Amino acid sequence: MGGHITQLVIITIFSLFSRYSSLEEGPPPPYNYFEDVVSAGYDPLAYPSYLSTLQDGNSKDFISHTTQLLTLQRLGLTSPSTITLIVDHFGATGDAANDTQAFEKAWEEACSSKGEVILEVPQGKCYHLKPIRFSGPCNSNLTVQIYGSMEASDDMSDYKEDRRHWLIFDRVDNLLIKGGGNINGNGKIWWQNSCKINKHLALTFYRSKNLMVQNLKIQDAQQIHVSFEKCSNVEASALTVTAPETSPNTDGIHVTRTQNIRITDSIIGTEMGSGSRHGRQVTCIQDPVITLMAITYNFYINGHQGGSGSASNIIFQNIEMFNVSNPIIIDQNYCDQDKPCKEQSSAVEVKTVVYKNIIGTSASQVAIKFDCSKTHPCQGILLQNVSLQEQGDTTAKAICNNVKLSEEGIVFPQCS
């Protein structure tokens, strides 16, 4: 776990209620992180090593590579040689029966075929599924078109072999998933037996490269709705991730040990929003706007004491919040247990993080919290045009411990 890995995550979500003139006047110009922070008065010389990975053009090369690879190859017109496989042709019925075996057969055929392959989940049906591992590597460039609904089994015994995953795409490169369909984690039975140990994930992408996930509704996850773990070159857009307020500790999107990821044009409304966890990753939120509604956490970066690795070169930009508890958090002293965790000297490094153009309301009095390590303080944190008001009559406040912080433009609340 030691050492440093340069990575890039871009999380961008459009809002229908955006108040930023840069969005109202048409598409924004190409974004340049380095030029932006410099023009804001941020001194790169104070943290040269932290910004060098963005200066050397890695992020530009990534955007160009991903756009060419995924947009041109995967989003163009299908060629005459494209193979289309429909899950119904493998025995799926979508009539409340267990369709797991049919999906497994369809995946095996799609993955083993060569060339361009489309695997289709038809509209107007609801397919009930036990846990499935869609394993690669595949011989084909796969497109999974989800038009209908996929619903998780509510029988706890179906998860005895793997209690952590429902749908997992494992080592599947060059994958496009889209269609506007619904993925329902059917989490009510899990919420009734809620436990924060061995978190259960509804939709997981693991050790996969060159992914596009578009236009999907993911709802009522057992605990974590979407997770990208040990992936690279990921484009996720137009996702709607929701769970009711009564769902305990349900998370929106997790990004863990993942390089070069952009999440855009989406809405997250769960008990916990979207975050970076467990170090060894970089998160960068770019031009459009993230909309979050009535959730317990917005975008958070945390790491257990005693951890290693880093979360760096991160941008949270153009975000609207509505009644969100704990909107901005960096926590290097994260403790996920009832008893206090033992204080340790090592920690996940957090450096060069930008919060820009963030507005809205906080359901908690503490709207901004930077709880950083005494031995490894947070470095190069910038708040620029951040305005968070507490919902109600009281005034929101910020708590800032062991953080090297700069502020530009209007910032409220401010660290005392």
Bridge partner list, 407: 383
The pLDDT score that the predictor gives to residue 259 is: 82
The pLDDT score that the predictor gives to residue 100 is: 97
Mean pLDDT of 273-282: 39
Neighbour-count burial for 187-217, b at 16+ CB within 10 Å, e otherwise? beebbeeeeeeebbbbbbbbbbbbbbbbbbb
Mean pLDDT of 65-69: 47
The pLDDT score that the predictor gives to residue 49 is: 32
The pLDDT score that the predictor gives to residue 341 is: 76
The pLDDT score that the predictor gives to residue 19 is: 26
The pLDDT score that the predictor gives to residue 343 is: 75
Q: How far apart are CA 404 and CA 340, in angstroms?
A: 26
3 within domain boundaries: no
The pLDDT score that the predictor gives to residue 63 is: 42
Q: Which amino acid type is present at position 2? A: G
The pLDDT score that the predictor gives to residue 291 is: 52
Greatest mean pLDDT among 5-19, 65-79, 223-237:
223-237
If you average pLDDT over every residue of the chain, what do you get?
76
**Which whole-number Å values give the CA distances from 30 to 27, 39, 151, 317, in the listed order?**
9, 15, 39, 14
Look at the pTM and tell me if it is higher than 0.95.
no
292 within domain boundaries: yes
1 within domain boundaries: no
The pLDDT score that the predictor gives to residue 50 is: 31
User: What is the number of domains present in the chain?
Assistant: 1
Reply yes or no on whether the pLDDT at 164 is more than 60: yes
CATH number, domain at 125?
2.160.20.10
Reply yes or no on whether the pLDDT at 221 is more than 50: yes
Residue 238 DSSP SS3: strand
Number of alpha carbons in the 13 Å side-chain half-sphere of residue 69? 18
Q: How many CB atoms lie within 10 A of CB 112?
A: 11
Reply yes or no on whether the pLDDT at 235 is more than 80: yes
Q: pLDDT tier at 391 (50, 70, 90 boundaries)? A: confident
The more confidently predicted of residues 75 and 326 is 326
Q: Is residue 298 within 8 Å of 323, Cβ to Cβ? A: no
What is the torsional sign of CA 59, 61, 64, 70? negative
Reply yes or no on whether the pLDDT at 43 is more than 60: no
Q: Is residue 9 within 8 Å of 283, Cβ to Cβ? A: yes
What is the torsional sign of CA 123, 127, 133, 139? negative
Q: pLDDT tier at 299 (50, 70, 90 boundaries)? A: low
Q: Is residue 148 within 8 Å of 124, Cβ to Cβ? A: yes
384 within domain boundaries: yes
Q: pLDDT tier at 15 (50, 70, 90 boundaries)? A: very low
Reply yes or no on whether the pLDDT at 124 is more than 70: yes
Q: What percent of the chain has pLDDT over 90?
A: 39
Mean pLDDT of 131-154: 96
Q: pLDDT tier at 195 (50, 70, 90 boundaries)? A: low
* CA angle 26–357–36, rounded 5-degree value: 75
Q: What percent of the chain has pLDDT over 70?
A: 70
Q: How many CB atoms lie within 10 A of CB 147?
A: 15
Reply yes or no on whether the pLDDT at 198 is more than 90: no
Measured in degrees and rounded to the nearest 5, phi and psi for residue 177 equal -120, 130
Q: How far apart are CA 315 and CA 284, in angstroms?
A: 4
37 within domain boundaries: yes
197 within domain boundaries: yes
407 within domain boundaries: yes
Reply yes or no on whether the pLDDT at 71 is more than 70: no
CB-neighbour burial class of residue 26 (10 A; exposed 0-12, middle 13-18, buried 19+): exposed
* Closest to 277 in 3D by CA, of 348, 338, 326, 344: 348
Reply yes or no on whether the pLDDT at 41 is more than 50: no
The pLDDT score that the predictor gives to residue 8 is: 47
CB-neighbour burial class of residue 1 (10 A; exposed 0-12, middle 13-18, buried 19+): exposed
Domain span at 91: 9-24+31-76+83-412
Reply yes or no on whether the pLDDT at 60 is more than 60: no
Q: How many CB atoms lie within 10 A of CB 64?
A: 11
The pLDDT score that the predictor gives to residue 40 is: 40
Mean pLDDT of 13-32: 32
The answer to which of 141-155, 248-262, 265-279 has the lowest mean pLDDT is 265-279
238 within domain boundaries: yes
The more confidently predicted of residues 192 and 52 is 192
* CA angle 192–241–298, rounded 5-degree value: 90
The pLDDT score that the predictor gives to residue 98 is: 93
The pLDDT score that the predictor gives to residue 78 is: 54
The more confidently predicted of residues 191 and 160 is 160
Q: pLDDT tier at 139 (50, 70, 90 boundaries)? A: very high
